[in-house]
Structure 1
């Protein structure tokens, strides 16, 4: 495993992280035993960056992480999020309520202070008002959180937040189906020493290259109920691309991968080839997937010719299909 600095935290995080949304059961049922197996696989493969949120399974993801880490005390950097709980989102934000939610995360995770608390895709006008960021500074000074960042849905939000002098990180969607951050956000992040946390590197799994147009998903899976943006931003599911179109595009990308590389490896290695990226958070529904994801860290960089071909593929064939504000 290779490690990279996470912005102003100065902390060395694994360039492949583990996303823990699935531990809340939001992609289908996951029992305690399976959750522990996934977390153990993360430890066994030197993944020290774990990402969760207070709303994943209404706190279940955090609780499972807390239960596991109490029994398996090892150095880790655990990031969580605040701001999408129904008591706050979309217009119920107060300093007291945000602090109470963060305190709830502290309790569930079993820590004295949160390593990283990220504002969780809060409305643009709320973010730009500045109160939430000022409160996060206060919570940092009080010792409730060690570092804070933002998880954003749009480029506009990211470019606003990146200028904040105390901001440690920005979590953003970045993958072969969403490439604009490379030129619009990443230079500003490097200039301001802000770490980039990449989420949805496989565009909700469609960039695995294993899905078909007849694919079905569990009723509780956001790839079922939010495929057209019925529950939250359409850009969060399949990177905003209509599912059947995304499958076709993924199939075409498979033909561009080197002969000794799967589409998953191509998609992940492409992200890691961007030096502004601190870590890529990947979900896993079983331990074997964790090991497969980690293996990408050891792969050599892609050629400049392939990078250029993938860039042209995005701008000529993909970008026109992305729904939602990027």
Structure 2
């Protein structure tokens, strides 16, 4: 597993991390035994970065991570969590020192630690990025020893560009994949120039880029791929990267011939992301051991060809960009 520097923190993390949303909730049923097996497999095969959030299964994801790390012992991997989405209503006014401290205290208990490696503001309303007091509250928690550092998880490129104006921001988590290429146009360059770690989420477009979905694929009632296609529960861009399902399925069929022998479509999609050297780590989810091992194996695969990269760019501009490019 290759390592990449985590911004200017002096730490390095695995270029393929573990996205722990699926083991928390909103992805259909995942048993605790499967969840633990997936995380063990990821760590066994080189993962040193785990991303979670306090709302994933109402803390279930954080608690499973704590249990697995206790079982393993030894050096802890870098564990990033998020705060803010527990607010109800989820409003900019709720992002204040009292609430953020309460969320962090809860995550400290769930993750069974006395200091969190990284806390990310969890896709807050855009107004929050224009409130220095929010970032001052995060600075205060660093000074108090509750967190080692902080970053933001954003929906829009513009939010990421605004966030990195604050000197305390160490990382930005953003959606970037074959179907969401806009971050590469400006954001990635700015993040790299400023020494900001970039965490890439939704790398497989909610599973579309595995190549396993069909028009008649069904999803469980508690799976966001069923209930959030039009943004009914949270930002539409988090589900299938915001691309209409039928449009995405047609695009997947055009991608399929580009995948070289010995590489799955999922690994091909992960390799595409890793071609950008501004990316620090990509965090695919895994519901079982096999998925985790396959994800991590992408780190050892060869780079994609120039012809494949050009074909994917052309496909994006022609078929996908009209649906996503100017929205996120």
Please list, as runs of the form range in 1=range in 2, the aligned pairs for 1:92-103 lying within 5 A after superposition.
Answer: 92-103=94-105
Aligned to 2:286: 284
Aligned to 1:315: 317
In the TM superposition, residue 45 of structure 1 has moved relative to its aligned partner by 0.7
Aligned residues: 326
Matches of 1:323 and 1:227, distance apart in 2: 17
Corresponding residue to 2:206 among 197, 204, 207: 204
Aligned to 2:84: 83
SS of residue paired to 1:118: strand
In the TM superposition, residue 88 of structure 1 has moved relative to its aligned partner by 6.6
Deviation per residue, 1:209-245 (Å, 9 max, x gap) = 1100111111111101001111111111001011121
Matches of 1:237 and 1:324, distance apart in 2: 17
Matches of 2:47 and 2:273, distance apart in 1: 17
Corresponding residue to 2:108 among 106, 109, 120: 106
In the TM superposition, residue 70 of structure 1 has moved relative to its aligned partner by 1.9
Structure 1 position 154 matched with structure 2 position 125: no
Aligned to 2:269: 267
Corresponding residue to 1:140 among 130, 139, 142: 142
Matches of 1:94 and 1:262, distance apart in 2: 44
In the TM superposition, residue 148 of structure 1 has moved relative to its aligned partner by 0.5
In the TM superposition, residue 114 of structure 1 has moved relative to its aligned partner by 0.5
Aligned to 1:164: 166
In the TM superposition, residue 262 of structure 1 has moved relative to its aligned partner by 2.6
Please list, as runs of the form range in 1=range in 2, the aligned pairs for 1:223-242 lying within 5 A after superposition.
Answer: 223-242=225-244
SS of residue paired to 1:25: coil
SS of residue paired to 1:270: helix
Please list, as runs of the form range in 1=range in 2, the aligned pairs for 1:240-259 lying within 5 A after superposition.
Answer: 240-259=242-261
Matches of 1:190 and 1:255, distance apart in 2: 32
Structure 1 position 214 matched with structure 2 position 193: no
SS of residue paired to 2:58: coil
In the TM superposition, residue 25 of structure 1 has moved relative to its aligned partner by 2.5
Any gaps of 5 or more consecutive residues in structure 2?
Answer: none
Q: Describe the shift of the 1:289–1:252 C-alpha distance in structure 2 as closer, same or farther (beyond 3 A).
A: same
TM-score, normalised via structure 1 length: 0.97
Matches of 1:93 and 1:120, distance apart in 2: 10
Aligned to 2:15: 15
Aligned to 2:186: 184
In the TM superposition, residue 192 of structure 1 has moved relative to its aligned partner by 0.6
Deviation per residue, 1:98-138 (Å, 9 max, x gap) = 10110110111011100010000000012222222121111
Q: Describe the shift of the 1:124–1:297 C-alpha distance in structure 2 as closer, same or farther (beyond 3 A).
A: same
Matches of 2:242 and 2:191, distance apart in 1: 24
